[in-house]
Amino acid sequence: MVFTVVFPTPPAPRRSLGSFPAALTTVEEIKPLSWRDDPATSLWDWLIVTKGSCGQHAEFHTHRAILGAGPRKSDYFAQLFTGSAGAALAEGSGRTSTLELEQTAFDAFPAFLDFVYEGKLEIGDLSAVALLHLAHYLLNRALFSEVQQSIHASLDLHEDDASVFLEEAHLYHLEEVVDTCVAACAELFLGHGTSFCIFLEPSLYLRVIQALQDPDGHTLSDHIKAYCDRHTDAVDLALLTQLTAGLTTSVSPASALGLLGYSLVCGGPAALKDLCTAQIGASWEATLLPAIQDSIAERDYANQRASRAPEPSKSKRARNDAAAENSTADAPEADGWTPLNPDLYPKEIQLQLLAGAVSSAAESLKDIRVELARCRSEVQQSKGIADLWKGHAADSDAKHARLRRQLKRAAVPEGYTVEYYDRQDQSAPNVPRARLPTREAPDMIHKLRSFYEPDEGYCLYGCSFPAPGFPLYYFDGSVQ
C-alpha cells in the first residue's frame, strides 16, 4: 500500500503591506558603544571636561548607561546620574562634568574610560598611581583592584619603579601607598647607585633615609653627598642634620670633603664636621691631595694666560694703578692662593685639614719604617738560612766522597753492583745503594755495614736483580 502526502499550497496574500525601504536594507554589524566614536553619531548623552595642571583641557563624549550602570561602572557617576548625591555633586542637570586633575591623572583619563567601556587596561610606570587615584576619586572598585595588583607586581619585577610610585603617591596623598613605597625604596636604597631616588623632594628622600636599617656609613654618605649636589638650593642646617643623623661612625673618602663643605656653609652639624675632618686626615691621598692638585693646575693655567696677555698702554696702566690704590683693604693679596676654595673652606679649616694630613702621613711613614725593618730582618734570616744550607751541603758532599772511597775498598761479590742514591730523592746518584739477591742480602749488609753510618740515613735497597719485588733492608737489619 502506498501513501501520498500532499501539502497544501499557502494562499496568496489578499493585500500588500509594502516592502522594506531600499536605503535601509543593509544590516551593519552591531558595535558596542565607545567614547572614541564620532560625537555626531555616537548618541552620547554626557560630556566630561578634564583640565590638567599644566593648563591643558580635553572633552570626552560619553554614555551614562556605561559610566553609571555598566559592568565596570563608576559609583561617582552612578550617584550623579541618579541624583542620590543631591547637592553635593555640582554637575547636577547640566549633563556635563568638569574634572580638574593633576597632569598625570589628566594623561591617564583616556585609559580610565577604556577600562570602563571595554575592560582594557594599559598601565605604565607614570600612569599606575594616577589610575589608582582616579579609581579612588571616581569610586571604581574594579579599576582599583586591577591597579593595585599591577603596582604590587611592578614593585617585585621593576625595582626602579618604587621611587616613581612614591613621588606620584605623595602627589595624590595616598598615604598607604606612600608607606609601602618608602619601605620598598629603603630595601633597595643601598644596593643601587647614588642616582637612586635622587629626584625625590627632600621630605620623601628623608623618609627613605630614616627607614634604612643599619646602613653602611660609606655607602650612605655617598648617597647623601650626591643628593645634596643635586638639590643644593634645598640644603639647609635642618635638612643636613636630619639626613646625616645616621652617619655616626664613618663617611666615605669620596664624600668627606663635599659633606664638610655643606657643613661649613650651613653652620653645622658639628658631629658631621668632626667626622669629615677626621676622614680627610686619615685618607688625605684620596680626598685632599686630588683637590689640591686641581687647585694648583687651575692657578698655573691662570698664570700662563696672564703671562701671555698683551702689555697695557701707559694710560691704561696708569688707570689700573689708580684703581689698585683706591681698592679696599679686603681685596685679596697677589700671593693669597690657598689649596682649597676660601669661600667654602676658611683658611683655619684648610690649616686644620693640612695638619691632619701631615699627622696621618707621619703615622704612615712610621708604619712603613717598621715594615721596612721587618723586611730587612727577614732578609738577614734568609741569608743565615742560606748559609746554613750551604754548610750542610758542603758537609754532605764530604761525607759522600768519604763513602765512595770506602766502597771502593769494600769486598763486593762478583755480579753485584753498588749505586749511589739519596734516600729522600732516589733520582740523585750520590748516596750508596746496593742491588742484592734476597737470600744473600743480610750477609752482604753485614759485610758492608762497617762502611756505612746508619745515623746518616743511608740504606741498602733490594731491587729488581735478579727478580722484582725484593724487600727493602735498612742498616739495622730491619725489613720494610
Q: What is the pLDDT of residues 296-330, one digit of tens each?
A: 888 888 888 877 766 555 565 556 566 555 544 44
Place of cell 759485610: 447
Identify the pLDDT of residue 422. 42
The residue from 158, 173, 198 where one domain ends is: 158
Average pLDDT over residues 443-463: 44
Q: Which of these ranges, 210-214, 326-330, 458-462, has the smallest mean pLDDT?
A: 458-462
Identify the pLDDT of residue 313. 58
User: What is the domain count for the chain?
Assistant: 2
Closest CA to 65 of 39, 46, 84, 42: 46
pLDDT in tens, 150-176: 999 888 877 778 999 999 999 999 999
More confident residue, 376 or 396: 376
C-alpha cell of residue 361: 702621613
Mean pLDDT of the chain: 77
Place of cell 578634564: 50
Residue 37 domain flag: yes
Residue 121 domain flag: yes
Q: Which of these ranges, 40-54, 113-127, 196-210, 275-289, has the smallest mean pLDDT?
A: 275-289
C-alpha cell of residue 28: 551593519
Identify the pLDDT of residue 332. 42
Question: Is residue 264 within 8 Å of residue 349, measured between CB atoms?
Answer: yes
Average pLDDT over residues 387-412: 68
Give the CATH number for residue 132: 3.30.710.10
Residue 114 domain flag: yes
Identify the pLDDT of residue 238. 92
Closest CA to 225 of 195, 191, 266, 184: 195
Identify the pLDDT of residue 110. 95
The residue from 98, 133, 158 where one domain ends is: 158
DSSP string for 137-201: HTT-HHHHHHHHHHHHHHHHH-TTHHHHHHHHHHHTT-HHHHHHHHHHHHHHHTTS-TTTTTTS-
- For helices 161-171 and 141-157, what crossing angle results, to 10°? 140
Is pLDDT above 60 for 376? Answer: yes
Identify the pLDDT of residue 349. 83
Q: HSE on the CB side for 289, CA within 13 Å?
A: 10
Residue 153 domain flag: yes
Average pLDDT over residues 79-94: 63
More confident residue, 39 or 427: 39
Is pLDDT above 50 for 53? Answer: yes
Residue 220 domain flag: no
Closest CA to 63 of 93, 33, 92: 33
Question: Is residue 185 within 8 Å of residue 208, measured between CB atoms?
Answer: yes
Identify the pLDDT of residue 138. 94
What sign does the dihedral 109-112-117-121 (CA atoms) show? Answer: positive
Domain that holds residue 78: 33-158
Residue 276 to residue 256: CA distance in whole angstroms: 5
Residue 115 domain flag: yes
Is pLDDT above 80 for 243? Answer: yes
Identify the pLDDT of residue 479. 40
The residue from 141, 158, 175 where one domain ends is: 158
Is pLDDT above 50 for 5? Answer: yes
Closest CA to 283 of 252, 312, 320: 252
Residue 283 domain flag: no
Residue 310 to residue 375: CA distance in whole angstroms: 59
Residue 252 domain flag: no
Is pLDDT above 50 for 477? Answer: no
